[in-house]
Amino acid sequence: MLAIETEELTKDYAIGFWRPRPRRALDRLTLGVERGEIFGFLGPNGAGKTTTLKLLMQLIYPTSGRASVLGLPIGSLALKARIGYLPEHPYFYDYLTAEELLTYFASLFGLAPAARRARVAQLLDQVGIGAERRLALRKYSKGMLQRVGLAQAILNDPDVVFLDEPMSGLDPFGRRAARALIHDLRKRGCTVFFSSHILSDAEALCDRVAVLAHGRLAAQGRVADLVAFDVKGWELIVADADQALLGRLGPQVSKATEIAYGRYALELPANAAPDRLLAEVTASGAKLVSLNPVRETLEDFFVRHVGAADEAAIDRVDSR
């Protein structure tokens, strides 16, 4: 059984008052997320990521298509007891303290008072909210609110957690803690579905990703598969190199950057023969520091596929 499954999920919004016309925010999304994986849902602004998350939370209703989570219908109480959700730009009741908010939410899950107190204390420790837990949320910074948001999303030890921009507003310590939390969730067998603009986080965390553009699925697959075989070039770092060596290598090198005295980073095209270059380096008396393939990053993949979707969208507009 898949953790999350959508089939031709579509959402149209009516735009205009006197003559409403439909605007398609999500177009026949079909995807499946395996249990226990970290799934990245990527896309530019307005791609339909938040629309998808809101459909899965039943905050909005689909125009057509269907979706299920853990084999249960969207919006059922049995399902809600087993999932967690962090919305984008979370807002909570600013007159409550972090402790009061989590205690309130814990009461909705039916936790007994003693269990509530223990769970709330443990979660606030885990997300790094210390003495501030007794201050009203209106006094919290954006980063602190985001941490409280993460805590409320995992309050019930969920089987699936939906995170919309989980790193938003977090400082480097917070981002590290959030990444550790996500890894910890996976270790516990939780499925994590998160949407993000920060591709480096998705690349570091996700098992699989899907790229959404203009409401349509542009690409999906394992991160390793999407970027593994596309070697864009080579990076060769040499030490004790002289100008003569650089002159001989010149035509084969795309770019040479001096990073320290006598130490150069050389960018080579993908079709370069690195072993022949290594022989020249050694013969000249320079030392090899490192030789690494430069692979396509998730960002390169993203730009390529979203760019293609943009052109297709422009073609569709031009052909009307």
Partner 1 sequence: MRVIGSIALSVFRESVRDKVLYNLVLFAVLLIGASYLLGQLTAGQDVKIIKDLGLSATSFFGLFIAVFIGIGLVWKEVERRSIYSLLAKPITRVHFILGKYAGLMLTLLVNLGVMAIALYAVLAVMTLVGPRSLTAALDAPALDPRLLLAIGLIFVELALVTALALFFSTFSSPMLSAAFTFGLYIVGHFNADLKHFEQVVDSRPAAWLARALYYLLPNLGPFDVKALVVHGQPISTGYVLMTLSYGVIYIAFVLLAAMTVFARRDFK
Binding site for partner 1 (CB under 8 A): 13, 54, 57-61, 77, 80-81, 83-87, 89-93, 95-96, 100, 104-105, 107-110, 149, 152-153
- Asked if 208 and 220 touch (Cβ cutoff 8 Å), the reply is yes
Choice between 91 and 261, CB closer to partner 1: 91
Choice between 150 and 213, CB closer to partner 1: 150
Choice between 163 and 217, CB closer to partner 1: 163
Q: Which two tokens stand for residue 156?
A: 């019930």
- Asked if 137 and 147 touch (Cβ cutoff 8 Å), the reply is no
Instruction: Find the shortest distance in angstroms from Cβ 112 to partner 1.
Output: 11
Tell me how far CA of residue 203 lies from CA of 71, 164, 180, 225, in angstroms.
28, 16, 15, 12
- 136 Cβ contact list (under 8 Å, min separation 6): 94, 95, 96, 97
Give the integer Cα–Cα distance in Å for 209 and 193.
9
Q: Which of 221, 214, 222, 148 is nearest to 178 (CA)?
A: 148
Give the integer Cα–Cα distance in Å for 202 and 227.
13
Q: What one-letter code names the amino acid at 281? A: V
Other Cβ atoms closer than 10 A to 237: 18
Give the integer Cα–Cα distance in Å for 279 and 12.
61
Choice between 90 and 174, CB closer to partner 1: 90
Provide the angle, in degrees to the nearest 10, between the axes of the packed helices 172-187 and 142-153.
Answer: 10
Instruction: Find the shortest distance in angstroms from Cβ 307 to partner 1.
Output: 28
Choice between 100 and 300, CB closer to partner 1: 100
Instruction: Find the shortest distance in angstroms from Cβ 81 to partner 1.
Output: 4
Choice between 116 and 216, CB closer to partner 1: 116
Give the integer Cα–Cα distance in Å for 263 and 240.
6
Choice between 81 and 313, CB closer to partner 1: 81
How many helices (H) and strands (E) the chain has is answered by 11, 14
Instruction: Find the shortest distance in angstroms from Cβ 165 to partner 1.
Output: 13
Order of strands, sheet of 287-295, starting from the edge strand that comes earlier in the sequence: 255-260, 263-269, 231-239, 287-295
Choice between 67 and 249, CB closer to partner 1: 67
Instruction: Find the shortest distance in angstroms from Cβ 163 to partner 1.
Output: 12
Give the integer Cα–Cα distance in Å for 243 and 292.
22
Instruction: Find the shortest distance in angstroms from Cβ 56 to partner 1.
Output: 10
Instruction: Find the shortest distance in angstroms from Cβ 180 to partner 1.
Output: 22
- Asked if 127 and 149 touch (Cβ cutoff 8 Å), the reply is no
Instruction: Find the shortest distance in angstroms from Cβ 31 to partner 1.
Output: 20
Instruction: Find the shortest distance in angstroms from Cβ 166 to partner 1.
Output: 13
Choice between 109 and 128, CB closer to partner 1: 109
